[in-house]
Amino acid sequence: MNILNNTYHEIIMLMSIGLFISTAEYLVKIKIFATDGLLSWNVMQIRWENSSKNWLAQTAFKFINPRGLSAIFVLRCILLLALAFAPVGSLNAWLCLTGLLITVLLSSLVTFYGSDGSDQMTLLIIVTLFLVFCPIGHANPTLLKIGIWFVGLQSCLSYAVAGLAKLFSNEWRRGTAIKDVFNTRTYGSPWALSLLNNRPWLNKFLCWNVILMETLFPLSLFLPFPLAVCFWIWGFTFHFLTAVIMGLNSFLWAFMATYPAIYFIHTQLA
Partner 1 sequence: MKTEFTTELVYTGVVGLLLALWFIATVICQFRESKASNFIRHHLDTFGMIPLWTFFAPSPGKRDYHLLFRDKYTDQSVGEWQQMEITEERKLWSCIWNPQKRDKKVISDVVQNLVSTMPHYRSGEGDYRLLMFSMPYLIVLHAVSLCKRVPETESRQFMLAESCGYIKETDPAFILLSVFHQI
Interacting residues with partner 1 between 129 and 188 (CB under 8 A): 131-132, 134, 136-138, 140, 142-143, 146-147, 150, 153-154, 157-159, 161-162, 165-166, 168-172, 177-178, 180-181, 183-188
220 binds partner 1 (CB under 8 A): no
Judged by CB under 8 A, the chain residues 14 through 33 that form the site for partner 1 are 21, 24-26, 28-29, 32
76 binds partner 1 (CB under 8 A): no
Quote the CA–CA distance of 258 and 263 in Å, as a whole number.
Answer: 9
1 binds partner 1 (CB under 8 A): no
Nearer to partner 1, 20 or 263 (CB): 20
270 binds partner 1 (CB under 8 A): no
Judged by CB under 8 A, the chain residues 77 through 106 that form the site for partner 1 are 105
Nearer to partner 1, 75 or 181 (CB): 181
Residues 204 and 175 sit within 8 Å (Cβ to Cβ): yes
Nearer to partner 1, 166 or 266 (CB): 166
261 binds partner 1 (CB under 8 A): no
Nearer to partner 1, 2 or 142 (CB): 142
Judged by CB under 8 A, the chain residues 31 through 70 that form the site for partner 1 are 32, 35-40, 42-44, 46-47
Angle in degrees, 0-180, between the axes of helices 117-132 and 141-167, rounded to the nearest 10: 160
Q: Which of 114, 222, 230, 270 binds partner 1 (CB under 8 A)?
A: 114
Query: For the chain, first and last CA: distance in Å?
Result: 18
3-state secondary structure of 257: coil
Nearer to partner 1, 1 or 244 (CB): 244
Q: Which of 249, 259, 264, 266 binds partner 1 (CB under 8 A)?
A: 249
Residues 103 and 75 sit within 8 Å (Cβ to Cβ): yes
Residues 94 and 130 sit within 8 Å (Cβ to Cβ): yes
What type of residue is 33? F
Helices (H) and strands (E) in the chain, counts: 14, 0
Q: Where are the alpha helices (DSSP H) in 29-136?
A: 41-44, 55-61, 66-85, 91-108, 117-132
The length of the chain, given as a count of residues: 270
**CA 55 to chain CA mean position, Å:** 30
195 binds partner 1 (CB under 8 A): no
